[in-house]
């Protein structure tokens, strides 16, 4: 079975390619290398013993997308990661985000719509819930007004897919990720943020390595047990495995609806201070941090109710926060060695 993974050299994409290959899928990667590198292919091969087919391509080029699907006319399964994901950058340059995240989605769906049968997995985000009223968050919690163009592209993407499903043979699963962290336990692949990391865990590991002097903790006056904001940090390998399960569900026609939505998290919320302390434990060192003011646009708390994914997909996150952080730390040490 041949699967196209767009953005397959990125953080979540590369881990998913490994799990797909481990399950015997033949993988073709499209990536424009805007936030990744061809060296990731080596890491993937070292883990799974197989180099996936790679086409360097920009999905914003509609004609290239058309030619690709003409050439590879036996692809029925697509996992679509290719997108930009920096919230701040999306506020600075909204059109870049609409072009990167929406145009590319439309072009891929246009090609899938020509088929008699197609299975499509979409990378969505818990950001669609905004600050949900009830914790843990279930899939039927209302989608709230997006706080950034990035968040809006995820909401619009979900809407486009839902509308297209009504008039086509495309079956889709929308996966709403909570906070993906960590790296492959072999440290062959992991997260490679360009410049100063905006996300908590890469900032922590870089601070642990001495690349950053100090972590700023954005606010300790939130209405949470220790005052710092709470998130659901999920190991990227657990997340990757969920994609394989979801894809198989569609390919085997086990889905109940044309479009299904699942939260992917651990179900456990951790505060920023809890993450710091867990990191200190696994790295056996103190982390230099200081409490500063809140970051604009941040919510207080978000963690998943994972019952639907557990029961319907038969998938459950396995790694603990400490295991996830240990893998992130191992990776950080390897790439700086
Ligand atoms: C962020 C995005 C979210 C996106 C996700 C993708 C924002 C506001 N949200 O989620 O839309 O889907 O990344 O990965 O950017 N923190 C610190 N110090 C830091 C960095 C983070 O205290 O240097 C805190 C944040 O305030 C937050 C928590 O750590 O409470 C997690 O932050 P982060 O890793 O950026 O993820 P989110 O903000 O949850």
Give the residue whose CA is nearest to atom 13 of ligand 1. 199
Q: 328 CA distance to ligand 1 centroid (A)?
A: 16
Quick check: 239 pLDDT over 90? yes
**Quick check: CB of 202 below 6 Å from ligand 1?**
no
Give the residue whose CA is nearest to atom 19 of ligand 1. 200
Who's near 2: CB < 8 A, 6+ residues apart? 25, 26, 27, 28, 72, 74, 75, 76, 77
What 3-state class would DSSP assign to 20?
helix
Please report the sign of the dihedral spanned by the C-alpha atoms of residue 308, residue 309, residue 311, residue 312. positive
What tokens does 4 get? 């196209």
**Predicted pLDDT at 72:** 97
Cα 26 from Cα 110, distance rounded (Å): 23
What tokens does 201 get? 């865990």
Provide the pLDDT confidence category of residue 105 given band limits of 50, 70 and 90. very high
Quick check: 164 pLDDT over 90? yes
Q: Which ligand 1 atom is at minimum distance from the Cα of 229?
A: 30
Domain spans of the chain, in order of start: 2-181+234-265+307-315
What is the second-level CATH architecture of the domain 2-181+234-265+307-315?
3-Layer(aba) Sandwich (3.40)
Interval 144-162: pLDDT, tens = 999 999 999 999 999 999 9
Longest dimension (CA), the chain: 57
Q: What is the pTM assigned to this prediction?
A: 0.98
Interval 265-315: pLDDT, tens = 999 999 999 999 999 999 999 999 999 999 999 999 999 999 999 999 999
Who's near 226: CB < 8 A, 6+ residues apart? 220, 271, 273, 274
Give the residue whose CA is nearest to atom 25 of ligand 1. 218
Q: Which ligand 1 atom is at minimum distance from the Cα of 272?
A: 29
Between the alpha carbon of residue 117 and those of residues 105, 259, 276, the distances in Å are: 18, 14, 46
**Predicted pLDDT at 337:** 84
DSSP state of 173: E
**HSE toward the beta carbon, residue 329, CA cutoff 13 A:** 21
Report, as an integer, the average pLDDT of 163-173: 98
């Amino acid at each position: 079975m041949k699967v196209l993974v767009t953005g397959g050299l990125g953080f979540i994409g590369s881990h998913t390619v490994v799990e797909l290959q481990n399950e015997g899928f033949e993988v073709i990667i499209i990536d424009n290398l805007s936030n990744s590198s061809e060296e990731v292919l080596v890491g993937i091969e070292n883990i799974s013993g197989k180099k996936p087919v790679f086409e360097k391509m920009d999905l914003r080029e509609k004609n290239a997308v058309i030619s690709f699907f003409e050439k590879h006319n036996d692809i029925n399964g697509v996992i679509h990661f290719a997108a930009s994901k920096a919230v701040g950058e999306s506020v600075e340059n909204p059109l870049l985000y609409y072009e990167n995240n929406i145009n590319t989605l439309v072009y891929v769906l246009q090609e899938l719509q020509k088929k008699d049968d197609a299975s499509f997995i979409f990378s969505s985000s818990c950001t669609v819930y905004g600050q949900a009223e009830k914790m843990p968050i279930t899939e039927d919690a209302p989608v709230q007004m997006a706080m950034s163009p990035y968040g809006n592209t995820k909401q619009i993407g979900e809407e486009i897919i839902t509308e297209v499903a009504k008039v086509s043979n495309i079956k889709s699963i929308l996966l709403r990720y909570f906070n993906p962290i960590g790296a492959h336990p072999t440290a062959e692949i992991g997260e490679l943020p360009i410049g100063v990391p905006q996300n908590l865990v890469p900032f922590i590991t870089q601070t642990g390595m001495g690349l950053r002097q100090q972590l700023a903790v954005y606010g300790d006056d939130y209405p949470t047990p220790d005052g710092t904001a709470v998130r659901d940090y999920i190991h990227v390998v657990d997340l990757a495995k969920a994609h394989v399960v979801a894809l198989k569900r569609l390919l085997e026609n086990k889905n109940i609806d044309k479009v299904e939505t699942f939260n992917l998290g651990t179900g456990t919320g951790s505060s920023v201070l809890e993450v710091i302390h867990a990191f200190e434990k696994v790295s056996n060192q103190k982390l230099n941090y200081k409490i500063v003011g809140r970051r604009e646009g941040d919510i207080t708390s978000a963690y998943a109710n994972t019952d639907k994914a557990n029961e319907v997909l038969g998938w459950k996150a396995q790694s603990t926060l400490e295991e996830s952080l240990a893998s992130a730390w191992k990776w950080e040490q390897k790439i700086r060695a």
